[in-house]
Amino acid sequence: MKRMLTPALKLLWQQRIALITALLLLLVGELTLRTLAPEYTNRVYDAYYTGGHPINTSADDTRGRPLDESARNANVRILALGDSVSFGTGVAESDTWPRQLEARLENRAVDAAVLNTSRPGLDLDQARLLLEDRFTEYRPTHVAVVVSGNMVSLAWIRQHDEPRLPDVQPQRTAPDASLKSRLRRAYHQFALPGFLTINIERFTYAIGLRVHNVDPQAPFGSLLAYGYRQNDLDPGTPAEAWSLLAAQIDRLNRSCNRIGAKLLLAYAPSEFALNENWINNLKSVPRARLTLDPEEQLSLSAARIDPSVTFIPLHQALADAAHKDGLYILNDYTHFNPRGHSVIAERFSEHFGASTQPLTADASHRRSQPAPAGQPARAQSSDRSDSPGSTGPAGRR
């Protein structure tokens, strides 16, 4: 005689089947995302990892390459100053634009070293203090700064604060091994939670549940640099922020002149400003509220401060590349992925390609003396590659 299931037992089996089905669907979803959209995995950001990649700081307070003898004796010695954009938040050290720039120059037989002294949250005055306190012995021939929108905001937010030299970054040889940290890292390795979190956030922006208004008292982020219009934000604040940044650039340029380094400036555009394509504005930033062109503001500031300051435009190169590939970290319109860093490195490398001293076969035996200082180029704020063979001090006017 066939045994009949009791209602309670039948319900238990149904619950088990539903649970197994749900787990299988989650597994299929996870495997599908890992295959088709691996960018949703490896979202580990802590004191040891950025985007799942080791932060890799050296004893010389740089990310990646240390201040070693070969760096000191290179003919072209470039110091990359900046915040999290140049630091490379979200990417491996080998994928940052300073590291890719050094590789490009090496491929073009240019005897160059590039030190990345950038770090998250830095303003331009702090970057200058880093240069003056820790890297003058490097005797950089060039100081390269990619200005971010947040650096413009910080110039206004911290205008009444005394600039403070950042602490030396601690060297961490092994990640935190506590159970809580390991569980957190394991969770952020999964693609499905990231997919759901990111796309729910995008949806809330798209339907207006979340907005991009900035705090009028502390307008962090890149919107202020674009002259973002907001009812409770003084319309003069963006212009004031740019004026304060120009003063910081002037102080940095004076420091560069004192050590015989040429200052190179570029602006890192936000993804939503590259073009009108909706795919570049997945957080639905209201572009109609943007009233300033940051690249124009920075180039004009550089020209007014000192015509010998070189401005390197990035916007058009990034906009052209964005039609082919994504250039930014997933759901982040500020930080670049390896392809974005590659575009920046290429634009900087074009500046050095024509007239810097090549690396010869016996260069390693001749590196005891730096390259002779030359006369700096003038009025460099243009979209063409100039001829930057000179590495001497830029004369003030």
Q: What is the mean pLDDT of residues 54-64?
A: 89
Q: Reply yes or no on whether the pLDDT at 222 is more than 60.
A: yes
pLDDT (tens digit per residue) in 235-283: 999 999 999 999 999 999 999 999 999 999 999 999 999 988 888 888 8
Question: How many helices and strands, by DSSP H and E, does the chain display?
Answer: 12, 7
60: confidence class by pLDDT, cuts 50, 70, 90: confident
Residue (of 182, 275, 292) closest to 237 by Cα position: 292
Task: Please give the sequence-ordered ranges of beta strands (E in DSSP) within the chain, or none if there are none.
Answer: 49-50, 53-54, 76-81, 112-116, 142-147, 262-267, 310-311
The pLDDT tens digits of the residues spanning 139-153 come to 999 999 999 999 999
- Nearest CA among 143, 144, 136, 133 for reference residue 167: 133
Provide the β-strand partners of residue 77: 113
Phi, psi at residue 263, to the nearest 5°?
-90, 130
Domain ranges within the chain, ordered by starting residue: 38-166+185-357
Q: Is residue 143 within 8 Å of 183, Cβ to Cβ?
A: no
Say which residue the tokens 């076969």 belong to. Answer: 361
Cβ proximity of 329 and 335 under 8 Å = yes
Instruction: Identify the residue with better confidence: 180 or 123.
Output: 123
Burial track 146-179 (b if 16+ CB lie within 10 A, e otherwise): bbbbbbbbbbbbbeeeeeeebeebeeeeebeeee
- The predicted-structure confidence for 277-320, as pLDDT tens digits, reads as follows 888 888 899 999 999 999 999 999 999 999 999 999 999 999 99
The mean pLDDT value for 189-199 works out to 93
Q: Which of 313, 302, 310, 314 is nearest to 386 (CA)?
A: 310
Q: Letter for the amino acid at 149?
A: G
Q: Which residues contact 376 (CB under 8 A, 6 or more apart)?
A: 262, 308, 390, 392, 393, 394, 395
CB 59 within 8 A of CB 171: yes
Q: Which residue matches tokens 């319109």?
A: 333
Which residues, including other chains, have CB under 8 Å from residue 3's CB and lie 6 or more apart? none
Span 153-172, pLDDT tens digits: 999 999 999 999 988 877 76
Q: Is 20 helix (H, G, I), strand (E, B) or coil?
A: helix
Q: What is the pLDDT of residue 360?
A: 40
How distant is the alpha carbon of residue 35 from its chain centre? 27
Q: Which pLDDT score, from 0 to 100, does residue 375 have?
A: 33
Given the candidates 3.40.50.1110, 3.30.420.40, 3.20.20.70, 3.75.10.10, the CATH classification of the domain at 38-166+185-357 is: 3.40.50.1110
Residues 76-101, mean pLDDT to the nearest whole number? 97
CA dihedral 181, 184, 189, 195 (to 10 degrees): -160
Residue 325 confidence (pLDDT): 83
Residues 100, 345 contacting (CB under 8 angstroms): yes
The mean of the pLDDT values for the chain is: 86
Strand partners, 80: 116, 144
CA distance 375 to 11: 85
- Chain-centroid distance of CA 204 in Å reads 26
